[in-house]
């Protein structure tokens, strides 16, 4: 009786680049392996995400098993991606109109996840001059805190090239207003994506959802999630004491506040309030902070299923 040959199983480290129909596609050493997760992941309440660094075993490119998910630096729900380095927030100037409140919601969410924000303004060429918010106003409020890129639909190659400089060696996700042009921008950055784009629904004044599975694509020596992310934000898990830490200009001033854990609301000797009075901290940022603080305080308690 001839001895049967046993397949050599290799144990490898890699990164999940795509998750689809129960399969995880892991990139390791220049190859992509199709794997399934071991059954104990469900028992351990672990859901592998695109972007996860993992250990897996495989005896071929199409037959492997995901064994372990290494600790994450962060994770997002929409799109479901882990270990994100930076988020491009796509905000329209018109159709839909620019919103300081929505932009600050995105910024707070990214700050809390330790994701570097990049603000990308679209549809500047559609401005008529009658709008209440101007590009210069936005640059004044955010220019010293974050990278702000302004683009027109007719001559935005320069803006796209500027954005591409941020991609190398980073995992980037896109998010922003519905209808602001997230999919369109991604298609311009990489025509191979051919993401589904929908025109704005005039009746609703916002875009239609064009979601699909998430895949990380190599672009400009980095990785980009090919699916636009969330277009609205609720602070479901953040605690009130965490909120002030998500405003960089508050953090910079806080050591001069009279009280150590100052919430910058009613406390005497608050440096943040003083800087709002002098205009060194934008009134819009402070007003949005107070609104977010109220939302967190008044939200209904969340009961997790046992």
Q: Are 173 and 213 members of one domain? A: yes
Query: Would you say 151 is a known binding-site residue?
Result: no
pLDDT > 70 in the chain, percent: 85
Where are the alpha helices (H) located in 22-68, listed in sequence order?
A: 40-43
Task: Look at phi and psi of residue 37 and say left if phi exceeds 0, alpha if psi is from -120 to 50, else beta.
Answer: beta
**Do 80 and 52 sit in the same domain of this protein?**
no
More confidently predicted of 228 and 95: 95
The domain boundary residue, chosen from 69, 92, 109: 69
- pTM of the predicted model as reported, rounded to 2 decimal places: 0.85
Q: What is the CATH number of the domain that holds 254?
A: 1.10.40.50
122 known member of a binding site = yes
Q: Is 178 annotated as a binding residue?
A: yes
For residues 12 and 156, the model is more confident at 12
Task: Clarify whether residues 65 and 87 are in a common domain.
Answer: no
Position with higher pLDDT, 199 vs 251: 251
C-alpha triplet 110, 83, 198: angle, nearest 5°: 65
Q: Is 294 annotated as a binding residue?
A: no
Is 281 among the annotated ligand-binding positions?
Answer: no
184 appears as a binding residue in the annotation? yes
**Number of domain units in the chain:** 3
Query: Is 123 a known ligand-binding residue?
Result: yes
- Position 196 pLDDT exceeds 60: no
> Residue 35 annotated as binding?
no
2 is an annotated ligand-binding site residue? no
Residue 229: predicted pLDDT: 76
Give pLDDT tens digits for 27-81: 999 999 999 887 777 778 888 999 999 999 988 888 889 999 999 999 998 889 9
Q: Say if residue 232 carries a ligand binding annotation.
A: no
């Amino acid at each position: 009786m001839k001895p049967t040959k046993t397949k050599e199983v290799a144990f490898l480290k890699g990164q999940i680049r795509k998750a689809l129909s129960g399969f995880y596609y892991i990139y390791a050493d220049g190859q992509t392996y199709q794997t399934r997760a071991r059954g104990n992941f469900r028992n351990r309440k672990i859901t592998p995400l695109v972007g996860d660094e993992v250990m897996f075993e495989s005896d071929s490119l199409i037959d492997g098993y995901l064994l372990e998910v290494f600790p994450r630096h962060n994770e997002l729900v929409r799109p479901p991606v882990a270990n994100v380095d930076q988020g491009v927030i796509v905000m329209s100037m018109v159709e839909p109109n620019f919103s300081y409140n929505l932009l600050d919601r995105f910024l707070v969410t990214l700050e809390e996840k330790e994701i570097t924000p990049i603000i990308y303004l679209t549809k500047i060429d559609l401005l008529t001059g009658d709008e209440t918010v101007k590009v210069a106003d936005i640059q004044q409020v955010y220019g010293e805190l974050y990278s702000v890129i302004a683009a027109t639909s007719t001559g935005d190659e320069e803006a796209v090239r500027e954005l591409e400089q941020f991609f190398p060696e980073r995992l980037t996700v896109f998010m922003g207003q519905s209808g602001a042009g997230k999919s369109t921008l991604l298609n311009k950055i990489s025509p191979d994506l051919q993401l589904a784009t929908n025109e704005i629904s005039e009746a609703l004044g916002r875009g239609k959802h064009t979601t699909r599975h998430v895949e990380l694509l190599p672009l400009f020596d980095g990785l980009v999630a090919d699916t636009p992310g969330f277009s609205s934000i609720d602070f479901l898990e953040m605690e009130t004491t965490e909120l002030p830490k998500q405003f960089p200009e508050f953090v910079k001033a806080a050591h001069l506040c009279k009280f150590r854990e100052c919430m910058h609301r009613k406390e005497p000797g608050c440096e943040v309030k003083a800087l709002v009075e002098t205009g060194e901290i934008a009134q819009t940022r402070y007003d949005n902070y107070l609104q977010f603080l109220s939302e967190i305080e008044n939200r209904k308690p969340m009961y997790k299923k046992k």
